[in-house]
Structure 1
Amino acid sequence: MSDMTSGLVAVPGARIHYEVRGTGPVLLVLQGGEGDAGRTGGLVNGLVDEYTVVTYDRRGLSRSTVDDPSAELTMETHADDVHRLLAAVTAGPAILLGSSLGGLIGLSVAIRHPDQVGTLVTHEPPAVRLLPEPARALSERVFDGLEETYRTEGWGAAFTKLAEITGGATEDREPDAELPAPLSRERIANMHFFFTHDIPAIRRCRLEAADVIALKAASVRVVPAAGRASRRGFFDYRCAEELARLLGVAMVEFPGGHNGLTTHPKAFAVRLREVLRAPRDYS
């Protein structure tokens, strides 16, 4: 991996740890699940010769501490953290790549701070309020089941269930793909924070079709994306489809499934370069 520098940004109620590698236009990676700044090292390696890649620990994860661990977390809070992080690392619009929860955070940033975002690639964001009612109700039942499993059986069972729901198996991967580290004490703590704070924040998110339509008038280029191997009925995949429909653009497919950033990092980086080099009217 290329030389890395790191820093801390003070934000209301927390301190955000971030890492910077490479040279070129700033590209911020917003992780999904309980992923922190080190989760997508293989992907970052495939981009640092052309981009200044910034990764970070969301508040409450790993080295990003919070003042009040019991405080309610919202998507607006996550978006404000990214707004302040971007202001610390670049003076101009940045490229954002967000996956799953990270993709939803990216959308929230683009809606609230469009001047800071040049292009947003949002990969299977759980923007469930964009879905028609039958699919939205299904997503709510899925979240209900996850939270009930976490309460009654613990984080391990909930994590296994989440992997089944998202199709997050790692058997289909590039031969030298670097998988997430074993379940250390830090990663288990991240799991607890994700289930107790981030999933409720997703459920409370009020991002609506009107917000997406308003983005069409902004200067932000939004690229809805999904995994080529993702289950077509999975609600995050359906969210990417609905986002593309609302924007009037084509959804772009990437290698792998819901976690393609980690299972197919080299191919994902190649595809991302192609998408970022394509004309704005990519549909």
Structure 2
Amino acid sequence: MTEPKTHTLAVPGAVLHYDVRGNDTSTLPVLLLIGSPMGAAGFGTLAGHFDDRTVVTYDPRGAERSKRTDNATESTPDEHADDLHRLISALDAGPVDIFASSGGAVNALALVARHPEQVRTLVAHEPPVVQELPDREAALAAAADIHRTYQRSGFGPAMAKFIALVSHEGPIPAGFADQPGPDPAAFGLPTEDDGSRDDPLVGQNMISCTHYGHDFDALREASTRVVIGVGVESAHVMTGRAAVAVAERLGTTPATFPGGHGGFLGGEYGETGEPDAFAATLRKVLSE
């Protein structure tokens, strides 16, 4: 595998930045590693475990290097799916394999519903498809409250509420959104509002991603092999529970991955999961 080479792709409303780690001798499909709002920087460790094929990572629109050009304040899964469609077309390497994490999994499922011919296998790891949870009303209310908190008070208070939501085990209780948020300082988060309102997680994904409704009929009929992944350590929190619900809607059994929601991380963003074991599981799932 070569060192990553950065490319840009102009799409409606944004300029995408993506990195290609090439392997000219591989006969395997290109492997696309994606998140949202996590960008390419989150997949360096995982990419290193797949030097037997070409690996592509990218920054979703509105995140890190991929700046929006339309001044929009929200990016939807449908927009991200169209971006992925255009990116895969630009690669011109035939159907790809995709490992997609979190919001990236939501976007990749939206892509497969529209363009299954572009994806051989999709491994969607813990898509936060909150709409499929039995406690959806409380969970969606909590997500909306995080967004409102961000608009009102800034990043620290909103992110503290986000951490409380995604670490809660079991169904989200009614009235969860009405509870006082944790102290941001307890998580090392800023307590002062710097005035910015462009964070792609608490400013955008908390609404557009969690509230998205998938076309499960199209997904079940797709030629793409779709595997839903669940972290062994996160099976009982919102993202793991949502992933199990998505697998049930698809009529499949989820694949269990080592670690939690970020089990593939090897120090990126200050978080370390179980990247070696995670990569081995992903390789096995892809080869099946």
Q: TM-score, normalised by structure 1?
A: 0.82
Answer whether contact 2:9 2:17 (CA < 8 A) is retained.
yes
Q: Alignment partner of 2:150: what SS?
A: helix
Answer whether contact 2:19 2:58 (CA < 8 A) is retained.
yes
Amino acid in structure 1 at the alignment position of 2:5: T
Give the deviation of 1:158 after TM superposition: 2.2
* Partner in structure 2 of residue 236 of structure 1: 239
Partner Cα distance (1:6, 1:190) in 2: 28
Partner Cα distance (2:13, 2:109) in 1: 22
Q: Alignment partner of 2:106: what SS?
A: helix
- Say what the alpha-carbon RMSD is for the aligned residues: 2.4
Give the deviation of 1:189 after TM superposition: 7.6
Give the deviation of 1:166 after TM superposition: 2.6
- Higher RCO (C-alpha 8 Å, min separation 6): 1
Q: Alignment partner of 1:70: what SS?
A: coil
Partner Cα distance (1:88, 1:51) in 2: 18
| Aligned sequence identity (%) | 39
Partner Cα distance (2:12, 2:239) in 1: 30
1:200 to 207, 219, 223: 207
Amino acid in structure 2 at the alignment position of 1:4: P
Partner Cα distance (2:252, 2:210) in 1: 26
Partner Cα distance (2:73, 2:204) in 1: 9
Partner Cα distance (1:250, 1:189) in 2: 42
* Partner in structure 2 of residue 175 of structure 1: none
Verify: 1:275 aligned to 2:285, yes or no.
yes
Answer whether contact 1:79 1:105 (CA < 8 A) is retained.
yes
Verify: 1:250 aligned to 2:257, yes or no.
no
Structure 2 runs not aligned, ≥5 long = 169-189, 266-272
* Partner in structure 1 of residue 90 of structure 2: 88
* Partner in structure 1 of residue 49 of structure 2: 46
Amino acid in structure 1 at the alignment position of 2:224: V
Structure 1 runs not aligned, ≥5 long = 169-182, 279-283
Partner Cα distance (1:213, 1:198) in 2: 24
* Partner in structure 1 of residue 179 of structure 2: none
2:40 to 21, 37, 40: 37
Q: Deviations over 1:187-215 (max 9, x none)?
A: x98971332223222144232xxx22332
Partner Cα distance (2:279, 2:243) in 1: 19
Give the deviation of 1:255 after TM superposition: 0.9
Q: What does 1:1-283 align with in structure 2 at a 5 Å threshold?
A: 2-23=2-23, 24=26, 25-32=29-36, 34-47=37-50, 49-132=51-134, 135-167=135-167, 192-207=199-214, 211-232=215-236, 234-262=237-265, 263-278=273-288
Answer whether contact 2:16 2:59 (CA < 8 A) is retained.
yes
Partner Cα distance (1:7, 1:198) in 2: 25
Give the deviation of 1:119 after TM superposition: 0.5
Q: Deviations over 1:173-231 (max 9, x none)?
A: xxxxxxxxxx9xxxx98971332223222144232xxx223322221100011111005
Answer whether contact 2:154 2:196 (CA < 8 A) is retained.
no
Partner Cα distance (1:9, 1:249) in 2: 35
Q: Deviations over 1:251-279 (max 9, x none)?
A: 1111111111212222211110011112x
Q: Alignment partner of 1:216: what SS?
A: helix
Q: Alignment partner of 1:246: what SS?
A: helix
Aligned length: 253
Q: Alignment partner of 1:95: what SS?
A: strand
Partner Cα distance (1:9, 1:98) in 2: 20
Over 4 Å off, 4+ runs: 188-191
Give the deviation of 1:163 after TM superposition: 3.1
Q: TM-score, normalised by structure 2?
A: 0.80
Distance 1:236 1:151, change over 3 A: same
Answer whether contact 2:146 2:206 (CA < 8 A) is retained.
no
Q: Alignment partner of 1:15: what SS?
A: strand
Distance 1:189 1:59, change over 3 A: farther
Partner Cα distance (1:138, 1:192) in 2: 23
* Partner in structure 1 of residue 173 of structure 2: none
